[in-house]
Amino acid sequence: MLSKCVLFSAMILIGGIGLPADSLKSASGAPQAASKDQEASGHEDLDALLWLQTSAEFIAITRQTFRLAEMNLGSALVDPTWSACLEQQRMFAKQPGAMAALPPAVILDVDETVLDNSAYQARLIANGEEFDPKTWNLFVQEESGIAVPGAVDFIEACRAARVTVLYVTNREYEVEYATRRNLVKTGLLQENDPDVLLTKNERKQWTSDKKSRRTHLASQYRILMILGDDLNDFVSLGKKPTPEKRRKTATRYSDRWGRQWMALPNPNYGGWERSLYQWEDRAAREAKLKLKRSNLRD
Ligand SMILES: [Mg+2]
């Protein structure tokens, strides 16, 4: 999960008085419940999170995405030139036969692609906290993520078609074991599956840009499909891409969507949001909001 630092900045206003975020914590360090003033003032993430957690439409969209992915498996398997991975197509440009001989696989992101971790987001809103890698990793160790609707059906379809399921996540290597257990609990992985989970910093070159991990996998499998909730799951965008660059990239690869690339909805966080505030995760909340509002089109 990428940093979501918009909930409250280092200084927040409570009843017109600026208080450091730490003052929200009890002596034990546990977050206190949000004050009535905070609840009344609302939060910029509230609607997005409620949509994801409560709407029928979220279920409809995720199920239709996974169903379409399943329907495309057959076409992908029988077409030896089919690859969802840009790095793979470059790698095997002069030896297509070698690519065709590789065993088939799909690459899936984890957070907000197959695992719904919106409970963490809900806690941040309820407690007036902001994203913190420490609380995030503690949450991950609860192994409480639930399967995104349609994900388990798709994984089972892959298994039935003898297509290997690979997970490429920006969760840290230190929580790989907990992540694996969560995936097993939800039916997204089987207990005796080999290590198909590639975490960030598991190897030195495996950075948050997933390109190096896609390249690593592309030498071993023919990648039929990629599924994710962030453009970075599909294509390398370089450092700090602008919203315009992100949109142009999505448009440039128009023929991939719905065939080899399947996007899941995440209105809560991701590169789309960070690019709006120029990737300044540590900026004050007000500064981020100002930058976000400057992107509105009327
Ligand atoms: Mg994700």
The predicted-structure confidence for 263-293, as pLDDT tens digits, reads as follows 999 999 999 999 999 999 989 888 998 999 9
**Domain tally, the chain:** 1
Residues contacting 258, CB < 8 A, separation 6+: 68
Distance 234 CA to ligand 1 centre (A): 11
Query: Measuring CA to CA, how many Å separate 193 from each of 66, 146, 259?
Result: 21, 19, 27
Q: Give the number of other Cβ atoms within 10 Å of residue 183's Cβ.
A: 25
Report CA(13)–ligand 1 centroid distance (Å).
31
What is the 264 CA–ligand 1 centroid distance (Å)? 9
Q: What is the pLDDT of residue 41?
A: 62
- Assess if residue 83 is contained within a domain: yes
Pairwise CA distance, residues 130 & 232, whole Å: 23
Question: Is 3 a domain residue?
Answer: no
The band of 38, judged by pLDDT with boundaries at 50, 70 and 90, is: low
Domain-located, residue 104: yes
| CATH at 279 | 3.40.50.1000
Q: How far is the CA of 103 from the centre of ligand 1 (A)?
A: 25
Residue 162 lies in a domain: yes
Distance 204 CA to ligand 1 centre (A): 21
In the chain, the percentage of residues whose pLDDT exceeds 90 is 78
Residue 27 CA to ligand 1 center (angstroms) comes to 34
Q: Which domain holds residue 246?
A: 11-293
- Which residues, in sequence order, are bridge partners of residue 223? 105
Residue 34 has pLDDT above 80, yes or no: no
Query: CA geometry: angle at 144 spanning 23 and 1, to 5°?
Result: 65
Q: How much distance in Å is there from the Cα of 19 to the middle of ligand 1?
A: 32
Q: Which candidate, 110, 134, 109, places its Cα nearest to that of 124?
A: 134
Q: How confident is the model at residue 163 (pLDDT cuts 50, 70, 90)?
A: very high
* Cα 109 to middle of ligand 1, angstroms: 6
**Least confident span in 34-38, 50-54, 118-122, 294-298:** 34-38
Residue 18 CA, ligand 1 centroid: distance in Å: 34
Average pLDDT, the chain: 88
Residue 238 lies in a domain: yes
Asked, for residue 1, whether it belongs to a domain, the answer is no
What is the total residue count of the chain?
298
- Percentage above 70 pLDDT, the chain: 86
Prediction pTM value? 0.87
